[in-house]
Structure 1
Amino acid sequence: MIVGSTGSGKSWTTATIIEQVADLPNANMIVFDLHSEYSPLSGHENIKVYRIAGPGDLNNPGDDVIFLPYWLLGYEDMLALILDRTDENAPNQAMAFSNIVVEAKRRILVAEGLNEELETFTIDSPVPYDLTFVIDELTRLNNERVINPGTNREINGPFNGKFSRFLPRLYAKKSDRRYGFLFNLNEEHLHTSYLLSLVNKLMRMADHESTGVKIIDFSEVPSDILPIVISLVARLVFQVQQWSPYDQRHPIALICDEAHLYLPSRQNADASEGRALSHFERIAKEGRKYGVSLLIISQRPSELNTTIMSQCNNVISLRLSNQSDKTAVCNLLPENLGGIQDLLPTLGIGEAIVVGDSCLLPSRIRIKEPIFKPNSNSVKFWNEWCNSINEQNLNNSVQNMRRQTMEEALVVQD
């Protein structure tokens, strides 16, 4: 775990570790980059940056754009995304949805001739299915009228009107371009072969065809579903490792930047964060057996999930001033190291206390400056206000907001 107040040097520390990992011949690491901070590290030959598709990528995605199809979501994850648990019809909605999804997956397996998978698949199996078919079936059930055998008169079916609130929510998610990486898919993403393509892109270790460190830019993912989307990638990695024979597993590390945004304490977690926590808690507790490790990075350790924090064998703490944050870190240390709490606020930028298996004794160190610096430098307000050389192009900024793409303004030379 790496913790420290904003501006203390967390990003540089993380970048230094990533660079050192990338220099290893068989490295394998995935970095969850929430603010596009680590894109400059792509200058290293063994580091590749990918982006989760944003609204501007849906019509013309590049090779560095990743789609995470809805069918990769587990059953509970999908329900956390679209089901309102306060709806009195929620149990009926969940039951009908699950039955139709199973049928939709069965149709795909039959169409592609995957007979062995057809005998063993479940609702959580990563098998594509046609969401339009699911919506059509739910609409049919919502409008269904049946004949009453006793009176021979037409009456409402058992699910008639039960999806009047569920279907609009599903339509809204499906049509929202912000969720295009989940729902706005082409034929390639709806084929069973896409899973292998995605896993190869994310998990292949360093060799002549792949880079060892993969940085995934989540900056365009809506914050309300960010926990589910990040946990989808983490769960996929864990499951691939879990289903790999022991002698064929290659260890992989997951770097969770800004972890407090999607790994909060249980009492502060909503439905989507609760699902994400379930996946990450399992990785924290069981990942060692399958060659999956976590590096947790946060500026607010007091807001982090305690189960995940308790499994961290090493703590790198940069400057911390907040009392609750200092207490959260010191609770992870042996009882005889209580004096470290008084030292944390005095650390300079780039200085850290390291405690854990990586060193015999608690050590105060200075972090080596990374070669490729992340986009995390603090803006020097006073200097900029006194003598700024940057002229902000507000017209270009407003256009980028509308188009949901980050484009540099053209400079016209006289």
Structure 2
Amino acid sequence: MIDGHTYRVGQVGSFVRIPLGYQDLFGVVAEVGAAVVSSGTPGPEQDTGRWMRVELAGEAIGEHFERGLSQHPNIGDTVHIVTERDLRRIYGGADDDQVVIGSLSSAENIAVRLALDALVTRHSAILGSTGSGKSTTVSSLLRSIVAPPGVEGAGGARILLLDVHGEYSAALSDVARTFSATPQPGERPLFVPYWALEAGELLEFVAGGLSDTHLVAFTDKIQQLKEARLEAGQLPGLDLQSLTVDSPVPFSLKQLWYDLLDFEITTFTGQQRDQPCLEAAGDAQTLTAPRYTPHALGSAGPFINQSAKGIRRQLNLIKSRLLDRRYDFILHPGPWEPDLAGNTPEDLDTLLEGWLGHDKPITILDLSGVPSSVLVRLIGSILRIVYEALYWSREKTEGGVLRPLLVVMEEAHRYVSPESGNIAADVVKRIAKEGRKYGVGAMLVSQRPSEVDETVLSQCGTLVALRLTNPTDRGRVKGALPDNLSGLMDLLPVLRTGEAIIAGEAARLPVRCRITLPPHDRRPKSCDPEVSAAWRTRRVAEGYDRVVASWRAQRTTAVVTEQTIARQPIPEEEA
């Protein structure tokens, strides 16, 4: 007992202090044990066999604490417990780049702060099993950055949150703008223009797997359509000499389909077999195919086009994709949808301004209504558009260097696994390796660390590890830790909900922390259903027609019968 506070000596995860002249070395107890004690009555000079292993992490001179060591202790130096006054020396500094995220588990009146600069630029990962409090931790952490209670937050922050399950819109609605593929009241529609994607990514989605010969046929036509668009009207920063098939230039996917199909089904007549037998021209806008006189056997004709590429099946798949309303957010992107000549009402600048340039610090991209077959490709496309834009504009005021961006990736194991090999994994790896230099930081959120690519996880300088029960997942976290704290990681299975072990560059010392909970009305929609209370309540049959209506509409708020309510203003004297 010291000054009315109880301290437990030698617990794994607790701190110790080693005085060395004017300096104090601080370390974390990583492991404790005891050797076999010889028989006999223990005396004051007899070795009790008890030991503990301490990982040194930092030093303090006066009230100033910093990570790293300028010297090491000697054999026989005394080891002291760390009191509340010492903890304030470590965690009490309220620098401009420090954000409060919670309190020490061992001393709840001591605030835990993270260095915002290191958290963003050196990347981070929030890992924990289902139900350990990941979503609440993410929500609390983001709110601590942009709007901490009673303190001026980072109002000019730029955070992009990829919300796979639609959990955060309500929790962060006061500090975020939400874009959704299935927008609810107060949300904006999410559009990702297909022509901003690389040609290979787009063709793999709309046409399936392509052989080299078939791929050339499509890319050549895309190049022609982009060249035609550029000749009709210049786009800033681009000319015909620098144009490539991957340049983000608008072109009509309908016109691509029509031109390639027309070439495939053309029949010819005449002595030179060069007179098209066209019966009806068709219409690219309505996806109506042209009609030609069917080819005939023998020498009379009509004759088929001998130069056809054999891509009828792929063209049928493109038409099917264009007609599938589930993919409207990418194939019919609202004001970014090109006409047949490739002209669009809006350009990419308004798209990026909507995502990154509005007056709120957080942007939520709600992907819960996106079909699973296209989710990973869509995430990769969004990340590529954002990263490429900030990479090439790094010397501009809205570039990543002068105004950094933090990208929060929920359910990262779904698209950054070692075997994925998809566009999303490639972009995330690029951000993890290069993003620091260009002002793009990554925050991975996952319940299966063992399924996250090891290269990406090793680039995360700060780890926030919540409760993890799977031994494979714990092993991956131990291997990724920047500090040798395997003993501390053995506490992961017994952490309480909302409690985390934080280690890495943003934390002054590896620490066991209770994350500050947001208010009840600002928590993500990820709470467990209250089974006992729900099953005790008498069932009220509201009709399964409403269930089927939501299923068919792919929208939780769908109704069977639309109700029209006539609203009339009430005069002030009656009110």
Which among 167, 172, 181 is matched to residue 52 of structure 1? 181
2:171 aligned residue: 41
Label 1:8 to 1:411 Cα distance change in 2 as closer, same or farther (>3 A).
Answer: farther
| TM-superposed deviation, 1:159 | 4.6
Q: Structure 1 residue 325 and structure 2 residue 325: aligned?
A: no
Which among 22, 25, 40 is matched to residue 146 of structure 2? 22
1:156-210: per-residue Cα shift (whole Å, max 9, x none)?
Answer: 5455251022112212211111111111244553217331110001122xxxx52
Q: Pairwise mapping of residues 160-239 of structure 1 onto structure 2 (< 5 A)?
A: 160=308, 162-186=310-334, 188-190=336-338, 191=344, 193-204=346-357, 210-239=359-388
1:280 aligned residue: 428
Structure 1 range deviating more: 278-287 or 14-23: 14-23
The letter for the 2-side match of 1:397 is: V
Q: What's the Cα RMSD here?
A: 2.8
Q: Give secondary structure in 2 for the equivalent of 1:49.
A: strand
Structure with bigger RCO (C-alpha 8 Å, 6+ apart): 1
Q: Give secondary structure in 2 for the equivalent of 1:41.
A: coil
- The whole-number CA distance in structure 2 between the counterparts of 1:292 and 1:115 is 25
Label 1:259 to 1:125 Cα distance change in 2 as closer, same or farther (>3 A).
Answer: same
1:94 aligned residue: 215
Equivalent residues of 1:227, 1:262 under 8 A apart? yes
Which among 548, 554, 572 is matched to residue 404 of structure 1? 554
Which among 240, 246, 268 is matched to residue 124 of structure 1? 246
Equivalent residues of 1:47, 1:215 under 8 A apart? yes
Equivalent residues of 2:482, 2:503 under 8 A apart? no
Q: Structure 1 residue 103 and structure 2 residue 232: aligned?
A: no
- The whole-number CA distance in structure 2 between the counterparts of 1:154 and 1:292 is 59
| TM-superposed deviation, 1:144 | 4.3
**Aligned residue pairs, count:** 393
The letter for the 2-side match of 1:318 is: L
Equivalent residues of 1:7, 1:349 under 8 A apart? yes
| TM-superposed deviation, 1:91 | 1.4
Q: Give secondary structure in 2 for the equivalent of 1:379.
A: coil
Q: Structure 1 residue 261 and structure 2 residue 410: aligned?
A: no
Label 1:411 to 1:173 Cα distance change in 2 as closer, same or farther (>3 A).
Answer: closer
| TM-superposed deviation, 1:133 | 1.2
Equivalent residues of 2:394, 2:438 under 8 A apart? no
Structure 1 range deviating more: 352-361 or 189-198: 189-198
The letter for the 2-side match of 1:165 is: R
Equivalent residues of 1:2, 1:297 under 8 A apart? yes
1:11-35: per-residue Cα shift (whole Å, max 9, x none)?
Answer: 1000001212322121100100011
Q: Pairwise mapping of residues 294-313 of structure 1 onto structure 2 (< 5 A)?
A: 294-313=442-461
- Structure having the higher helix fraction is 1
1:395 aligned residue: 545
The letter for the 1-side match of 2:363 is: K
The unaligned stretches of length 5 or more in structure 1 are none
| TM-superposed deviation, 1:411 | 12
1:127-176: per-residue Cα shift (whole Å, max 9, x none)?
Answer: 11011110012112322457589x99986545525102211221221111
Label 1:84 to 1:391 Cα distance change in 2 as closer, same or farther (>3 A).
Answer: same
Label 1:155 to 1:26 Cα distance change in 2 as closer, same or farther (>3 A).
Answer: same
Equivalent residues of 1:92, 1:162 under 8 A apart? no
1:134 aligned residue: 256
2:500 aligned residue: 352
Compare CA radii of gyration and give the structure with the larger one. Answer: 2
Identical positions, percent: 30
Structure 1 range deviating more: 2-11 or 370-379: 370-379
Please report the TM-score for the alignment, with normalisation by the length of structure 1: 0.87
Which among 359, 372, 381 is matched to residue 531 of structure 2? 381
| TM-superposed deviation, 1:301 | 0.8
| TM-superposed deviation, 1:257 | 0.5
- The whole-number CA distance in structure 2 between the counterparts of 1:121 and 1:392 is 59
- The whole-number CA distance in structure 2 between the counterparts of 1:35 and 1:388 is 30
Q: Structure 1 residue 64 and structure 2 residue 184: aligned?
A: no
Please report the TM-score for the alignment, with normalisation by the length of structure 2: 0.64
Equivalent residues of 1:257, 1:297 under 8 A apart? yes
The unaligned stretches of length 5 or more in structure 2 are 1-124, 148-153, 275-298, 339-343, 564-575
Q: Give secondary structure in 2 for the equivalent of 1:196.
A: helix
- The whole-number CA distance in structure 2 between the counterparts of 1:159 and 1:319 is 62
Structure 1 range deviating more: 168-177 or 137-146: 137-146
- Structure having the higher strand fraction is 2
Label 1:299 to 1:245 Cα distance change in 2 as closer, same or farther (>3 A).
Answer: closer
The letter for the 1-side match of 2:146 is: A
| TM-superposed deviation, 1:78 | 1.1
Equivalent residues of 1:141, 1:160 under 8 A apart? yes
- The whole-number CA distance in structure 1 between the counterparts of 2:306 and 2:375 is 36
The letter for the 2-side match of 1:298 is: S
Which among 246, 249, 264 is matched to residue 395 of structure 2? 246
